[in-house]
Amino acid sequence: MRIFSGIQPTGRKHLGNYIGAIRQYVHLQDEGDPAIYCVVDLHATTIAYEPAELRRQLYDTTAILLASGLDPARCILFRQSDIPQHTELTWMLAATATAHGDLNRMTQFKEKSAVQRELVSAGLFFYPVLMAADILAYGTDLVPVGDDQRQHLELAREIASKFNSRFSDTFIVPEGRIPDVGARIMDLQNPDKKMSTTASTEAGTIFVLDEPKAIEKKIKSAVTDSGSEVRRGEGKAGISNLIEILAVVKGVSMERIETEFADSRYGDFKTAVAQAVVEYLAPVQAKYAELRDDEAELEAILADGAAKASAIAAPIVAAARDKMGLGRPVA
């Protein structure tokens, strides 16, 4: 089973990214044949950015992935812009298998374009086509992502099917893998909105690299709901979010958390969540500190990943080109 996922090198990675996506990447790396993980710097250029900052964040994100447990000996870890097939296939898919109307319906495009101060670029509109190209160029069977990528994934499946029916079977139609618990971690200050790099509040977002004190403060000041019982339910978005976080971090069910804290007050519960999250992230932070400064080593890992990625993507994209009637015919 071939596994592929991508993560943006924008901003600081948060607990939502960790729980919804990175945790899955690590679990799945031995099930992939191979498991392929891509830091999607081309996607990051679709909104305002600084080139030097992009490179720094590329290293930050790579180091976080390695610190979280991705092992370059057991998976392929590479940088999107190192492989020209991603951009080439984006055009091919956009031109022949992507409906303009489908792109127009993408909710992330609507959300992101609404908050752009300067340029709403055509690249931002094409973002889901580039994501489809990432996935399809590797003959991917399974795509681990968080809940917010559901619509993009559905479009990638649609694009693969359209291409296949027009030019004969070329691409595998991928399945998504969205975790049952932890696929949508909410902003601690505004639990009706997902935790995110750009849209959520600073105080409501736990970053993977936050100091223990900051984590404690954010969790202790998390918005809770009226009532005093630690259980999920109507009008209890804040507490439900904390229950979900604690369940994932402890590796137990949400029911188990509710039973365990049935007689606790919100304050004690929050203290337990804070402590568990601090302990959960501590080993990642320690490993990150060891890895981050050696940029030459990070580059070496990415270069090795790019060589392996290229060997997979090049023949798949070449076959698609040939079917489209582009270039010299393949004998």
Alpha-carbon span 147 to 194, nearest angstrom: 10
Choose which of 77, 195, 209, 278 interacts with ligand AMP (CB under 6 A). 195
Q: What does 112 bind: ligand TRP, ligand AMP, none (CB cut-off 5 to 8 Å by kind)?
A: none
* CA count, 13 A, side-chain hemisphere, 113: 16
Closest CB 261 distance from ligand TRP, rounded Å: 32
8 touching ligand AMP, by CB under 6 A: yes
Q: How far apart are CA 131 and CA 229, in angstroms?
A: 42
The answer to whether the beta carbons of residues 247 and 280 sit under 8 Å apart is no
156 lines the binding site for ligand AMP (CB under 6 A): no
- From candidates 66, 183, 209, 230, binder to ligand AMP by CB under 6 A: 183
Among the listed residues 135, 250, 147, 151, the one whose alpha carbon sits nearest the alpha carbon of residue 196? 147
Q: Does 148 bind ligand AMP (CB under 6 A)?
A: yes
| CA dist 270 → 8, 42, 157, 230, 267 (Å) | 30, 39, 41, 10, 5
Q: Which of residues 97-156 bind ligand TRP (CB under 6 A)?
A: 131, 134-135, 143, 145, 149, 152
Task: Count the residues in the chain.
Answer: 331
What's the closest the beta carbon of residue 185 comes to ligand AMP, in angstroms? 4
Is residue 174 a contact point for ligand AMP (CB under 6 A)?
Answer: no
Distance between CA atoms of residues 205 and 185, nearest Å = 10
Is 247 one of the binding residues for ligand AMP (CB under 6 A)?
no
Count of CB atoms within 10 A of residue 50's CB?
A: 9
Q: Least distance from C-beta 127 to ligand TRP, angstroms?
A: 7
> How far is residue 140 from each of residues 71, 99, 129, 213, 265, measured CA to CA in Å?
20, 22, 15, 41, 46
Sequence letter at residue 83: I
Please identify the residue of the shown chain whose CB is closest to the bound ligand AMP. Answer: 20
Q: Which is nearer to ligand AMP, 292 or 323 (CB)?
A: 292
Matching residue, tokens 């519960």? 269
Stretch that binds ligand AMP, among 65-73, 140-148, 274-282, 316-324 (CB under 6 A): 140-148
Q: What is the largest CA-CA distance in the chain?
A: 73
| C-alpha closest to that of 26 among 18, 253, 300, 139 | 18
- Among ligand TRP, ligand AMP, none, what binds residue 238 when CB lies within 5 to 8 Å by partner kind? none
> Could you say which of ligand AMP, ligand TRP, none residue 16 binds, taking C-beta under 5 to 8 angstroms by partner kind?
ligand AMP
Say whether residue 145 binds ligand AMP (CB under 6 A): yes
The entry of ligand TRP, ligand AMP, none near residue 194 (CB within 5 to 8 angstroms by kind) is ligand AMP
Sites of contact with ligand AMP (CB under 6 A): 7-8, 16-17, 19-21, 145-146, 148-149, 183-185, 194-196
